[in-house]
Structure 1
């Protein structure tokens, strides 16, 4: 397995007047802006969106802590900050999350601009929504963003607080609400409808995945997701591998990353129902690493939802288990991708284990909790949303 040999040579970081380079960027990525304006449908197969997968119901999950954290966060903002950082539930900015440049389509409040108390209140909303392991992973990825800033001499453009936090809806009134954390390698969307929670789309990545130096030396990311993915594929027999392997060529990027809210992706690979009990156990443990980023109550509900479609869940693979690889889980209710990526800040144009991207989606129309919100509106307001 080849390893990167150094950092790319780069020009000076942008100044704090980004209008010109942002305009140039928009010229190059106009399709993304167009995609964000398209009416939301959801990731689906070529057969279209499957209906009635996500019933609106009470789950028994304890949401008192996260509702309280959201109210305290809002109470600590100035009127100007509220105007900049709070949005109606149906605001299009939900769909502007991306793993790109500092100012591209950003909105909400930049954590870097908060005082310590305000930043802690914003992070408390994230912490109360996630499990201890899930929150730790998010913090570690933000810290690794500083690591690459230190290595490249650009902590202005890459640091642990260069993330935008947005709050949507009305948690103080018990209505649907949610939050978004958006920046380089950390893009999380979280929606609450009653005590139900949807934690997708969630894109998490890192380059590097190990901090060998700097303020957060020793920080590591994605060891479990990588190791269990490797273990699952290597436990397959020859016939199972033939069904699981999609291609000899790694994709250039994840299939359902940013601006792919309406992407068509058909089921491919090996069904979990065609695995042995031991293989299925490994597959479910691997899926659990993604599902269990949510707090315990919501992770339990989500895993029940995932296991109800276990027989329709497909595992797909591309790459070399002794080198770099891509894998995917895809069912009617969950879509997970993992990939070793080429270097962006490191000087390698081939995939390496130093750069990893992951994404989790809720297909069939419930990313951003859209299907739950539709049902809530119909139940409480008497008509479908137009």
Structure 2
């Protein structure tokens, strides 16, 4: 199978979903291409992600929506996303059913939004996104081929939850375990080079910026929402949460400087690792790339085949002890992957996979426009 098959499934699923909607629903669900400003907006907080939420769909429409979502994910990726949606109920219980975020129910597994940009087709460009709390999936299709699948964000709160029989639900556990095994395999000299800060950031360094670049530092929580809170109560609550989180973890401007994004990646390069450590690094990388359909993941993995992996750097921040706040990132050509687990006593995970050059398919679309629309 090819990425063209993936695009074909997306076209079919998107058309079926859009065809099931009434005029009012379709107005929110499909925007004309390219809608550049809105198409580059993305979030991972429980805010309005833009589009038609599951809550405004009938049961069959929800099923068709999830069919489109599944077309852009691998089987493990879709299971993980479905689990993250269900965790909204768990989080609601943990918070005493009290968090509202200015709406009737603050934690709601039906407040996930789907939007299509353009006309789903095997000709020309179109895209779609699905997002809500702790999920943001994007795909850009051009002439029947998927040309961009980032940013791709997955998070989990709680990161670990009890199951019957003493088992533990950890939807993103592999991202922690594989990376922890990797840094644990380093000798002291290599580990010292890999650790770029003794304190981890309270969130992803790149946040939800449409584009990432030199000098980016962790954004404050109030910035990672659609607009600002009109309700002073909510605005104050978010500001206070940020102050408490920063104070609890002990982060300072100096730590932010050490954690800042740079064009020349920080940390230890795969070239400095043993063959076994490079294999472990690939395993970590595949927990990010493997979110998308196998055909797309295989294409992405080819970018780091053989010696190409040596250009990827691994950077760690925070404690190396399990259960303590920690962060890491992978950075290389066409790659920026971040993992952060600091909030709720290191039981709240944020992860994102990005291509700083081709997020939202921008690089491919620019080349297409230059070649065909002069």
TM-score, normalised on structure 1?
0.76
Residues 338, 359 of structure 1: 8 Å contact kept? yes
Could you tell me which residue of structure 1 aligns to residue 24 of structure 2?
A: 80
Could you tell me which residue of structure 1 aligns to residue 331 of structure 2?
A: 330
Query: For residues 134 and 65 of structure 1, what CA distance do their matches in structure 2 show?
Result: 16
Q: Cα–Cα, structure 1 residues 184 and 298, in superposed 2: closer, same or farther, change >3 Å?
A: same
Could you tell me which residue of structure 2 aligns to residue 315 of structure 1?
A: 314
Residues 61, 196 of structure 1: 8 Å contact kept? no
Q: Cα–Cα, structure 1 residues 115 and 59, in superposed 2: closer, same or farther, change >3 Å?
A: closer
CA deviation after TM superposition for structure 1 residue 59, in Å? 5.8
Could you tell me which residue of structure 2 aligns to residue 354 of structure 1?
A: 347
Q: Does 1:226 align with 2:169?
A: no
Q: Does 1:169 align with 2:127?
A: no
Query: For residues 61 and 237 of structure 1, what CA distance do their matches in structure 2 show?
Result: 45
What CA deviation, in whole Å up to 9, does each residue of 1:140-184 have, x standing for no partner?
Answer: 111112211233215811121111111112213532222111211
Q: Please provide the CA RMSD for this pair.
A: 2.2
Query: For residues 168 and 194 of structure 2, what CA distance do their matches in structure 1 show?
Result: 35
What CA deviation, in whole Å up to 9, does each residue of 1:267-314 have, x standing for no partner?
Answer: 101111111000000000110011011101111101112337412111
CA deviation after TM superposition for structure 1 residue 371, in Å? 0.9
Q: Cα–Cα, structure 1 residues 247 and 314, in superposed 2: closer, same or farther, change >3 Å?
A: same
CA deviation after TM superposition for structure 1 residue 60, in Å? 5.7
CA deviation after TM superposition for structure 1 residue 218, in Å? 6.1
CA deviation after TM superposition for structure 1 residue 126, in Å? 1.0
Residues 341, 355 of structure 1: 8 Å contact kept? yes
Query: For residues 187 and 161 of structure 1, what CA distance do their matches in structure 2 show?
Result: 14
Could you tell me which residue of structure 1 aligns to residue 45 of structure 2?
A: 100
Question: What stretches of structure 2 of length at least 5 have no aligned partner?
Answer: 99-103, 215-260
Q: Does 1:373 align with 2:323?
A: no
Residues 201, 367 of structure 1: 8 Å contact kept? yes
| Count of residues paired in the alignment | 312
Q: Which has the higher contact order (CA 8 A, sep 6+)?
A: 1
Could you tell me which residue of structure 2 aligns to residue 67 of structure 1?
A: 11
Residues 254, 339 of structure 1: 8 Å contact kept? yes
Could you tell me which residue of structure 2 aligns to residue 299 of structure 1?
A: 297
CA deviation after TM superposition for structure 1 residue 66, in Å? 1.9
Question: 3-state SS of the aligned residue for 1:134?
Answer: helix
Once the two structures are superposed, the pairs formed by residues 129-140 of structure 1 within 5 Å of their partners are 129-140=72-83
Query: For residues 201 and 159 of structure 2, what CA distance do their matches in structure 1 show?
Result: 20
Query: For residues 99 and 132 of structure 1, what CA distance do their matches in structure 2 show?
Result: 21
Q: Cα–Cα, structure 1 residues 96 and 327, in superposed 2: closer, same or farther, change >3 Å?
A: same
Could you tell me which residue of structure 2 aligns to residue 10 of structure 1?
A: none
Q: 2:84 aligns with which of 120, 141, 152?
A: 141
Question: 3-state SS of the aligned residue for 1:258?
Answer: coil
Question: 3-state SS of the aligned residue for 1:171?
Answer: coil
TM-score, normalised on structure 2?
0.78
Which moves more between the two structures, 332-341 or 59-68? 59-68
Q: Cα–Cα, structure 1 residues 240 and 61, in superposed 2: closer, same or farther, change >3 Å?
A: farther
Query: For residues 101 and 286 of structure 1, what CA distance do their matches in structure 2 show?
Result: 27
Could you tell me which residue of structure 1 aligns to residue 273 of structure 2?
A: 275
Residues 100, 183 of structure 1: 8 Å contact kept? yes
Once the two structures are superposed, the pairs formed by residues 90-129 of structure 1 within 5 Å of their partners are 90-91=34-35, 92-103=37-48, 106-129=49-72
Question: 3-state SS of the aligned residue for 2:346?
Answer: coil
Question: 3-state SS of the aligned residue for 1:63?
Answer: helix
Question: Greater helix percent: which structure?
Answer: 2
What CA deviation, in whole Å up to 9, does each residue of 1:350-374 have, x standing for no partner?
Answer: xx3311111111012x100111111
Could you tell me which residue of structure 2 aligns to residue 236 of structure 1?
A: 186
Structure 1 stretches of 4+ moved >4 Å: 58-62
Query: For residues 158 and 316 of structure 1, what CA distance do their matches in structure 2 show?
Result: 33
